């Protein structure tokens, strides 16, 4: 498989938001088929690392769905959306600055602690099984615009999750993958057990 041709094909498959915010990078030395790291708020471009030697072992529809799911998860991570936790981060930082100007060490620690807890909560929400399931659903919607039916897209994504585990030499799926597979089986109308 020629990585440059596949990257071009995958880029054309992505939604416009994915093309703007993500970049596919070949990384032949990695043990994972596809890998991303949790995107920090200061990084505009979100890299997707693919080992194309392992990637080529998946079928084309499985590759499509795996990439779409990854892009949907990456673009779904929102650091700056107004809600309670972002408000707590800002309030904690402002409080920490105010307390440091007052030279109150306990106040600084308390304010920074509030910010840290709120940041941890934001990280947990974006790394939760719910965010992965939402990314699966979003990937299926995008795949439907690319010519797949809902059932086909769910089946291909399910197959990709299971195939990636085998390719990477894992004998079992992790907890989040099991939840995702169960949800995808439900969407595809397969027997859920």
Sign of CA dihedral 102, 106, 107, 109: positive
pLDDT at 117: 83
Reported confidence tier of residue 6, pLDDT bands at 50, 70, 90: very high
For residue 184, give Cα distances in angstroms to 14, 73, 144, 173, 193: 21, 16, 15, 14, 12
Task: Please report, for the chain, the start and end positions of each structural domain, with discontinuous segments joined by +.
Answer: 3-78+127-188, 84-126
pLDDT tens, residue by residue, 154-165:
999 999 999 999
pLDDT at 90: 74
Please report where in the chains the tokens 């032949």 appear, as a residue: 28
Specify whether the backbone of 113 is left (phi greater than 0), alpha (psi in -120 to 50) or beta.
alpha
pTM score: 0.81
């Amino acid at each position: 498989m020629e990585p440059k041709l596949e990257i071009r094909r995958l880029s054309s498959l992505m939604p416009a938001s994915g093309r703007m915010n993500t970049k596919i990078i070949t990384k032949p030395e990695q043990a994972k088929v596809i890998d991303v790291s949790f995107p920090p708020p200061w990084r505009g471009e979100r890299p997707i690392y693919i080992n194309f030697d392992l990637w080529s072992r998946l079928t084309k529809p499985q590759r499509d769905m795996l990439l779409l799911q990854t892009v949907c998860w990456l673009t779904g991570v929102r650091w700056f959306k107004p809600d309670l936790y972002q408000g707590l981060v800002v309030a904690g930082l402002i409080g920490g600055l105010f307390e440091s100007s007052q030279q109150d060490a306990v106040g600084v620690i308390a304010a920074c602690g509030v910010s840290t807890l709120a940041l941890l909560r934001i990280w947990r929400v974006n790394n939760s099984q719910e965010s992965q399931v939402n990314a699966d659903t979003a990937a299926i919607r995008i795949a439907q615009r690319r010519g797949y039916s809902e059932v086909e897209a769910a089946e291909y994504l399910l197959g990709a999750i299971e195939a990636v585990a085998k390719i990477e030499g894992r004998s079992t799926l992790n907890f989040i993958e099991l939840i995702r597979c169960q949800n995808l089986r439900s969407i595809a109308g397969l027997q859920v057990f």
